[in-house]
Amino acid sequence: MSSYFETASPNIIDNEFLREPQIEAYEKLKEHFIERDNKEHALVVLPTGTGKTGLMGIAPYNISSGRVLIITPQTVIRDSVLGSLDPLYPRNFWLFTRVFESYSELPTVIEYEKVLTDEVIQSADIVILNVHKLQERLDSSLLKRVEPDFFDFIIIDEAHHSEATTWKKALKYFENAKVLKVTGTPFRSDGKAIEGKEVYTYGLGKAMARGYVKSLEKIDYIPGRVYLTLDKNSDKLYTIDQIREMGLRDEDWIRRSVALSTESNMSIIEQSMKLLSEKREKTGNPHKIIAVACSIWHAEQLKDLYLEKGYKCSIVHSELEKHEREFEFAKIESHQVEVVINVAMLGEGYDHKFLSVAALFRPYKTLLPYAQFIGRVLRSIPEDDVNGNLSEEDNIAAAIHHKELGLDELWDYYKKEIKKRDIIKRIRTDYPIEPTDKSPRDVSVGSVSESEGYTTVKDAFIESELLQVRKQRIQEEQEKIKSLQALLDVPEEKARILYQQSLKSQDKERYLRPDLYLKKKKTEIDQLVREDIIPQLLVDFNLELQGNELPAGKYILPKKYQFIYSRSKDNGSLLGQYFNLSLKHHIGEGRDGWKIDDYDRAIAHVKELDTHLRKVLENRL
């Protein structure tokens, strides 16, 4: 009997909605597994933001002759993959990219849980799970529920983890399955090679040039002089050059002291705030800083310093309870904070497009965690996500760190798109400076002070088209401001204000009578949902407002909204709650807190949700 992946007819090779690396990688996988009948694991390297999850979505078609297992290393990544590949998600990957046109063509997807019945597990085309659910010692392990030939194709996300024991035992159990390993960082901190044949690699520089990811600048903060004491209780100051020349302390001690210095931290904080402020003013979009700290205690110190400057912060680390972590993520997604501080938590898998300024307060020594952290600011912002208000500045990210953290070597590796594993073997083991409690470990550090003078040095990853366009636009704006200044004989600042006002003249009602404009938008969204879309849905599909077909059927809502079934007595209630909650999550807060731009985003989202619901109902009723 043929499998779903053998009989389905996806639109892949000539699909204009798929990205170049997705199609090319898919073709290489078919060549590897089908044309050459190669049993070796296949490794695909795609930089963050170029479409790894999408590749996982198309890879099994005409390659797998049975079920597919997708393994992720942690819950953040699992939830991201599951969200994109949830067939009931309105913008699921297959429909959004026109791989398929109908819900009836989609695969059956489940997230493995121990409570699932054998019937449900066996009905799946794709099973998604976190690697911990493959541990042999657990009675709930998937390995205890299925036979070794249950899966024909296994996909491993973030494949640099796959050399760990649990992963290798799982692959040994399913040893006859084809294996695809996908990663954006094809190297490990311990220097071990990732097993498998590298069948396709898409370079980061190429991804930037294509606009798949943000362009990247690095900014070094270089104080005129840095002074240190040899321990916390000493008053005698030395410059870093003196300490090096006299052999008083090693480089690790210098970097640790600078990393934990309040004065040095404040220097980077002020520079990151300056970068963020400029980016937000230029674009009008909710860009954010993502900062990496050495420890939980250090993160708390950084938070206090940012708060003193009036910047709202979220802290994310492994010791947060699940509900605390979800609360922090919700604040980030709804743009309630300007700074996200993490401790070895958001190195991979977490994708928020508006993280655009990376502030490094940790002296990384190996490429893997450094590259994963930098990757968090590289995901590009599409025009749809900013209601058409997209400029080249939105897709230029910046990384800033103190010159004395010793990160230049890693930047050089990153800049040259490290591909060869023999290079990573030269990098030493990561420096262990993260205590697990909220107090600083009693290790030797010196106090640090800096001279008032400083410089910043900017280094672009590549001189991409975006950077060139930005330079040209800044120059053109400056010329127009100077022309106004000369014509009207006013100071430069006044000319700048007049120029900005001229840009607003295209939408007079919005800027001159924002109260009336806002009232009109509120009425528009309210009428659209309550008086147009929900009634029309019920009429078109012969459903009564107070009928219970939708709550009883339980087939219309994506997983994250399934709790609505228990709260809805009738069709109208279910649709109303779904629209309202989906809007709240899409915009980030309730309607009382919406800004003017949010109403245009809301209207577009409601129309998209209406189209989605119609397709689901057509397939079910």
Are residues 380 and 451 both part of a single domain? yes
| Contact criterion met (CB below 8 Å) for 394 and 186 | no
pLDDT at site 272: 92
Are residues 54 and 82 both part of a single domain? yes
In a domain, 601, yes or no: yes
E strand map for 191-266: 197-201, 215-223, 226-228, 238-239
Going edge to edge, which strands form the sheet with 448-450? Answer: 238-239, 226-228, 448-450
In a domain, 582, yes or no: yes
pLDDT at site 157: 87
pLDDT at site 452: 60
Domain with residue 193: its CATH number is 3.40.50.300
List Cβ<8 Å contacts ≥24 apart for 133-137.
134/71, 134/166, 134/167, 134/169, 134/170, 135/166, 136/169
Are residues 490 and 454 both part of a single domain? no
What HEC string does 397-461 produce? Answer: EEEEEEHHHCCHHHHHHHHCCCCCHHHHCCCCCCCCCCCCCCCCCCCCCCCEEECCCEEEEEEEC
Are residues 385 and 410 both part of a single domain? yes
Are residues 24 and 127 both part of a single domain? yes
Distance (Å, whole) CA 28 – CA 24: 6
Among 138, 167, 202, the domain-final residue is: 202
Mean pLDDT of the chain: 81
Are residues 9 and 148 both part of a single domain? yes
The answer for residues whose C-beta is within 8 angstroms of residue 393's C-beta and 6 or more apart is: 279, 282, 283, 470
Higher-scoring residue by pLDDT: 499, 391: 391
In a domain, 223, yes or no: yes
pLDDT confidence bin for 42, thresholds 50/70/90: very high
The pLDDT tens digits for 532-573 are 788 888 878 888 888 899 999 888 899 889 999 988 888 888
Are residues 182 and 69 both part of a single domain? yes
For 74-94, give one letter per residue: b (16+ CB within 10 A) or e: bebbbbbbbbbbbbbbbebbb
pLDDT at site 345: 65
Range of the domain at 253: 213-462
The pLDDT tens digits for 84-121 are 898 888 889 999 999 999 888 999 998 898 888 888 89
Are residues 271 and 287 both part of a single domain? yes
pLDDT at site 419: 32
In a domain, 60, yes or no: yes
Examine the pLDDT at 461 and tell me if it is beyond 90: no
Are residues 173 and 117 both part of a single domain? yes
In a domain, 335, yes or no: yes
Percent helix / strand / coil, the chain, rounded to 5? 50, 15, 40
Higher-scoring residue by pLDDT: 521, 286: 286
Helix axes 367-375 and 408-415, enclosed angle (nearest 10): 70
Among 462, 480, 496, the domain-final residue is: 462
Are residues 399 and 531 both part of a single domain? no
Q: Which range has highest mean pLDDT (34-38, 97-101, 232-236, 361-365)?
A: 97-101
The pLDDT tens digits for 528-537 are 887 778 888 8
**% of the chain at pLDDT higher than 90:** 26
| Closest to 385 (Cα-Cα) out of 93, 601, 97 | 601
Distance (Å, whole) CA 104 – CA 96: 15
Task: Let me know if 463 is exposed, middle or buried by CB neighbors in 10 A (0-12, 13-18, 19+).
Answer: exposed
pLDDT at site 169: 87
pLDDT at site 459: 60
In a domain, 501, yes or no: yes
Among 149, 167, 202, the domain-final residue is: 202
Q: Which range has highest mean pLDDT (79-83, 137-141, 143-147)?
A: 143-147
Examine the pLDDT at 11 and tell me if it is beyond 50: yes
Q: Is 85 helix (H, G, I), strand (E, B) or coil?
A: helix
Task: Work out how many domains the chain is built from and give that number.
Answer: 4
Are residues 342 and 476 both part of a single domain? no
In a domain, 208, yes or no: no
The pLDDT tens digits for 398-440 are 888 877 777 777 766 555 542 322 222 232 233 232 333 444 4
pLDDT at site 35: 87
Are residues 489 and 410 both part of a single domain? no
pLDDT at site 41: 93
In a domain, 207, yes or no: no
pLDDT confidence bin for 521, thresholds 50/70/90: confident
pLDDT at site 69: 95
**Chain Cα centroid distance, residue 132:** 22
Q: Considering the entire predicted model, what is its pTM? A: 0.72
Distance (Å, whole) CA 106 – CA 86: 10
